[in-house]
Amino acid sequence: MKMTFRWYGEKDPVTLPYIRQIPGMTGIVSAIYDVPVGEVWPRERIAALKAQIEAEGLSFEVVESVPVHEDIKLGAPGADRLIENYSENIRRLGEAGVKVVCYNFMPVFDWLRTELNYEWSDGAHALSYDHETMLELDPGKGELSLPGWDESYTKDQLQELLNAYASVDEEKLWSHLKVFLDKVIPVAKSAGVKMAIHPDDPPWGIFGLPRIITNEENLNRFLRLHDDPYNGLTFCTGSLGASAANDLPTMIRRFGGEGRIHFAHIRNIKRDGEKNFVESAHPTAYGSLNMYEIMKALYESGFDGYIRPDHGRMIWGETGRYGYGLYDRALGSTYIHGLWEAIATERKSHHEIAN
Ligand SMILES: [Mn+2]
């Protein structure tokens, strides 16, 4: 297990010197954020990012994300050229020493919440999702008012995109994903870069948009689409855990046991009913997920990939990027580290006794 931390570059109020002070922190997860989706990242920009991170004594081996252009997901004309650009990015990242690339295949929105400042009883703030409220925010119905998204698209752009997806159902999205994987995975393999798809967040379809990376059956279908170790998963506990039907430890043992989990996002959520949840503090007691069982399943499946504390709450007066403050993610990292140390120590002493 290699502990990492997501960093959004120069504009991130959380600085690299602070991140390096988190106990056990070894690496940074980042990306080139200002090159438009679909274009190739300049080699010198990748090299500069790497140098900046390594100057702080941290490694740069995980990229999150290399975003997939909507035309690839739509199977639109021009998808071939965009997939070639995507492949070129993977080649360049491999040359720079990147080992894992996280990406997702969610149409239009890569995460959805109804509130960015839900207040917990202790005064901490977190992101939350209420399904009834989400349905009322349907951007196809009227004004665009989606928290976190109303500045990313104009109303017209969004309507155009939603119209384009009207003819893309789940099966079409699967077939476009296969086209993408069949071209990109061989490139990734020769570049030494493991591809790790992020599950859909939340793991169900919304506004008529198809979502397919959602549950055990679909993760298995995804891995068989292009059955190669370089075609793997980012196992995001908060995303998959939003659905109570997902048995996370069982899924980790199954796919991790096959060596297909390359990156883990560890966070907890508190479910309330079938499709409502609030992001919680990381420890088991605060949410609906058993973090000890999750970490034990990762350990026992032989997980040796990258891990990061996923979203944290905003605490201690911190302000900044929703879900990505320093303090609560640092607490999460230390908690995850503690679980791992305890599990590893217990397993090793059992092993010594047995031998
Ligand atoms: Mn995640």
Active site residue 351: no
Active site residue 131: no
Q: Where are the beta strands (DSSP E) in the chain?
A: 2-6, 27-30, 59-64, 100-103, 115-119, 125-130, 194-197, 231-236, 261-266, 269-271, 276-279, 306-309
Ligand 1 geometric centre to CA of 238 (Å): 7
Active site residue 310: yes
Active site residue 350: no
208: left (phi over 0), alpha (psi -120 to 50) or beta: left
**pLDDT tens digits, one per residue of 124-140:** 999 999 999 988 887 77
Query: What does the block give as tokens for 331?
Result: 């607490």
Active-site residue among 198, 262, 282, 337?
198
Ligand 1 geometric centre to CA of 141 (Å): 28
Ligand 1 geometric centre to CA of 109 (Å): 14
Beta-bridged to residue 2, according to DSSP, are 306
Which has the closest alpha carbon to 100: 307, 275, 320, 290?
307
- Between the alpha carbon of residue 272 and those of residues 57, 121, 278, the distances in Å are 42, 15, 8
- The CATH number of 2-354 is 3.20.20.150
Task: Give the pLDDT of residue 149.
Answer: 75
Task: Give the pLDDT of residue 143.
Answer: 64
CA–CA–CA angle 258, 262, 265 (5° rounding): 120
How many beta carbons lie within 10 A of that of residue 351, not counting itself?
9
Q: Decide: 105 and 177 in contact? Cβ < 8 Å.
A: yes
Active site residue 265: yes
Mapped to the 3 state alphabet, what secondary structure does 169-196 carry? Answer: CHHHHHHHHHHHHHHHHHHHHHHCCEEE
Q: Dihedral through CA 205, CA 101, CA 259, CA 220, nearest 10?
A: 20
* pLDDT tens, the chain, 355 aa long: 999 999 999 999 999 999 999 999 999 999 999 999 999 999 999 999 999 999 999 999 999 999 999 999 999 999 999 999 999 999 999 999 999 999 999 999 888 999 999 999 999 999 999 999 988 887 777 666 677 776 778 888 888 888 999 999 999 999 999 999 999 999 999 999 999 999 999 999 888 899 999 999 999 999 999 999 999 999 999 999 999 999 999 999 999 999 999 999 999 999 999 999 999 999 999 999 999 999 999 999 999 999 999 999 999 999 989 999 999 999 999 999 999 999 999 988 776 665 5
Q: What is the percent of the chain with per-residue pLDDT over 70, rounded to a whole number? A: 97
The residue ranges of every structural domain in the chain are: 2-354
Residue type, 143: E
Active site residue 33: no
Active-site residue among 236, 262, 335, 337?
236
Ligand 1 geometric centre to CA of 236 (Å): 5
Active-site residue among 176, 265, 282, 337?
265
Q: Decide: 69 and 38 in contact? Cβ < 8 Å.
A: yes
